[in-house]
């Protein structure tokens, strides 16, 4: 590891890259826009209902889980498209379907958790 990569300025700039990636995710991916609205709604409803600390922890975990799954799914899709040069490949379809399935599982878990908290 180089001393340059340990420099505080370099470490701070890496946060900038990460925030730029999240901004790109929200602005360019339609499903991320849905996750954004759902996240705000869950947080707003949590504030409105004055949920417990444990409920906030559960909500934060499932919200993060959905966002992480969506970000990784988007990366998988982009890498597959780049590799295939936008041409159909049956194995790539399977890979992309599995990655999308991971997002679906995370979202189902988040909805179930929200149901337990708010209903």
As a whole number of angstroms, the distance between CA 65 and CA 116 comes to: 17
Q: What angle do CA 77, 82, 83 make, to 5 degrees?
A: 100
Q: Give Cα 83 to chain centroid, integer Å.
A: 23
77 has catalytic annotation: no
CB atoms within 10 A of CB 12: 9
Surface-to-core class of residue 71, CB atoms within 10 Å of its CB (0-12 exposed, 13-18 middle, 19+ buried): middle
Catalytic residues, by residue number, are: 70
């Amino acid at each position: 590891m180089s001393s340059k990569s340990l420099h505080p300025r370099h470490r701070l700039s890496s946060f900038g890259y990460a925030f730029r990636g999240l901004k790109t995710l929200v602005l360019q991916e339609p499903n991320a826009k849905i996750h954004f609205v759902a996240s705000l709604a869950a947080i707003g409803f949590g504030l409105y209902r004055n949920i417990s600390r444990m409920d906030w922890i559960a909500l934060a975990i499932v919200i993060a889980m959905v966002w992480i799954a969506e970000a990784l799914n988007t990366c998988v899709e982009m890498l597959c498209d780049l590799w295939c040069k936008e041409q159909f490949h049956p194995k790539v379809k399977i890979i992309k379907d599995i990655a999308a399935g991971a997002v679906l599982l995370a979202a189902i878990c988040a909805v179930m958790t929200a149901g337990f908290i708010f209903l």
